Amino acid sequence: MTNIWDTLNQPVTISGLELQNRFVLAPMTREQSPGGIPTKKVTEYYQRRAGSLGMIITEGTYIDHPTAGVSDRVPRLDSTGAESGWRDVIAAVHAQGAAIFPQLWHVGCVRRAGALPFPDAPVFTPSGLSLGGKVIAEEPSLEEIDRVIDAFARSAVTAKSWGFDGVEIHGAHGYLLDQFFWKVTNRRSDKYCGSLEARTQMSIDVVQEIRHRVGPDFPIQFRFSQWKAGRWDEHIAENPGELERILRPLSDAGVDIFHPSTRRFWQPAFAQSDLTLAGWTKRITEKPTILVGHVGVNTAFRSDTPSDSVPADALERLFEQQEFDLLAIGRALLADPQWVEKMIGGREDVITPYTKDSENIYY
């Protein structure tokens, strides 16, 4: 496996952005920012990992809308005091040679009434439904949806002004934009529901508004998934044709890089083809694509059961088949900030392995 690590450890230009290698820190919620403001500890966390990476995608960061979040310890992109903390993070990451993108996040129906940081804000979800299809809120009006789209765009503009290198839009895992994709949570009777294209329209509008405000040279990433948390077998696309009906409009709207989130990166996305979800995404959009899921760990995300063994040649084979451009690593880097350096140096025997206890470590 040494050869593939050396190959990925070469400089590359992605969407006009020069990266020192193809390794990416996957976004992982840490809840270490009291009041939504990144602390010195947050700066040190990212700085410690940045030197061996080409890009850092931050933990999910709430957009500038009161309905976006569920915790007052998740960082925000708004005018409530987070700027200084984020500027420290950005400077520290850049000093290590890595690029950094914030992940723009709205949790949608995952939020409960009364949740912090804005307990008086309502729950905002496409049709007022939970992930289980139960009524938990009022269906938002088109005007209310426009205000959320505006919040995504304003937060992207804020990110650019503070010095971030691009933004990632969180459209995965059962959160707000994914709730618009999914029939269970989107039962509207307007332009945002009906066909696959209509259920994609909310994400298209977000991408287009961000692109309009940040200009042509600020990279936009889009993260999506088939699964939702706790609903691992759900799909927004049942076949490659349906996936194309979702991704091509997003690509045309202004997405530069796609980040398809999977729990096992090597598994085929659909029957009758060996292509992974990243492979299909790259084939459909011809845009740079990030591969993620299970790199460096022995269990799938949110599982205690050892997973199927990763094929020994999986990464090398998928890279040679041009199924991905960047490789995102999450839990392995959480447990061992030097994981990439040790893999490149052939020092796998001294890697600190990921365990569930690693989730509680913040260093």
Above 70 in pLDDT, residue 351? yes
Looking at residue 49, its pLDDT comes to 98
Report the alpha-carbon distance of residue 69 to residue 51 in Å, rounded: 30
Looking at residue 303, its pLDDT comes to 56
Looking at residue 307, its pLDDT comes to 56
Among 175, 192, 354, 362, which one carries the catalytic annotation? 175
Report the alpha-carbon distance of residue 36 to residue 313 in Å, rounded: 42
Q: Does residue 175 have an active-site annotation?
A: yes
Domain that holds residue 224: 2-360
Q: Specify the number of domains making up the chain.
A: 1
Looking at residue 234, its pLDDT comes to 87
Average confidence score pLDDT of the chain: 94
Q: What is the pLDDT of residues 46-92, one digit of tens each?
A: 999 999 999 999 999 999 999 999 999 999 998 778 999 999 999 99
Looking at residue 2, its pLDDT comes to 47
Q: What is the pLDDT of residues 259-283, one digit of tens each?
A: 999 999 999 999 989 999 999 999 9
CATH of residue 338? 3.20.20.70
For residue 1, what pLDDT band results from cuts at 50, 70 and 90? very low
Residues 350-355: what's their mean pLDDT?
Answer: 92
Looking at residue 293, its pLDDT comes to 94
Q: What is the pLDDT of residues 164-205, one digit of tens each?
A: 999 999 999 999 999 999 999 999 999 999 999 999 999 999
Looking at residue 126, its pLDDT comes to 98
Percentage of residues of the chain with pLDDT beyond 70: 96
Mean pLDDT lowest for which of 70-74, 227-231, 275-279, 340-344? 227-231
The whole model's pTM is what? 0.96
Q: What is the pLDDT of residues 286-318, one digit of tens each?
A: 999 999 999 999 866 655 555 566 777 999 999
Above 80 in pLDDT, residue 347? yes
Above 90 in pLDDT, residue 217? yes
